[in-house]
Amino acid sequence: MRDKSRTGKLISIQDLIQFYKNHTLAGKIVKKYDVLAEWPKIVGEKIAAEASAEKIENKVLKVSVLNSAWRQELTFRKREILEKINTYFGEEIVKDIQFR
């Protein structure tokens, strides 16, 4: 007898991974690491050469900056960077950024 709950549709691995990231606690943790991995794409190579995303704790991204001039510049651009990150992932993953 056939199982009526199965639709016979194939799901791509990419869709499966996205479902996992969106609907499981472990997936939400993985998304935090995606922010770190995608940092250069999100902010651009120029900023990524001067500042590196280190970790996320309680939706606060910790970013290590090479010098105080860049730290000040990035502090001025914090809202813009926050918007880029959250837009890139389509949800609020980061609420604040600390540049150090």
Which pLDDT tens digit goes with each residue over 57-70?
A: 999 999 999 999 99
CA distance 98 to 64: 9
Which of 1-5, 6-10, 21-25, 65-69 has the lowest average pLDDT?
A: 1-5
Query: With contact defined as beta carbons under 8 Å apart, do 63 and 99 qualify?
Result: yes
Domain segments of the chain: what residues? 35-99
pLDDT digits (tens, 9 = 90+) for 31-41: 788 999 999 99
What b-and-e string marks burial along 10-22, b requiring 16 or more CB atoms within 10 Å of the CB? eeeeeeeeeeebe
The answer to whether 56 touches 48, Cβ cutoff 8 Å, is: no
Strands 96-99 and 60-65: parallel
CATH value of 35-99 in 3.30.300.180, 1.10.3720.10, 2.30.40.10, 3.30.465.10: 3.30.300.180
Q: What is the C-alpha separation between 84 and 97, in angstroms, rounded?
A: 12
- State the average pLDDT over residues 9-32: 76
Query: Out of 11-20, 21-30, 60-69, 86-95, which region has the weakest mean confidence (pLDDT)?
Result: 21-30
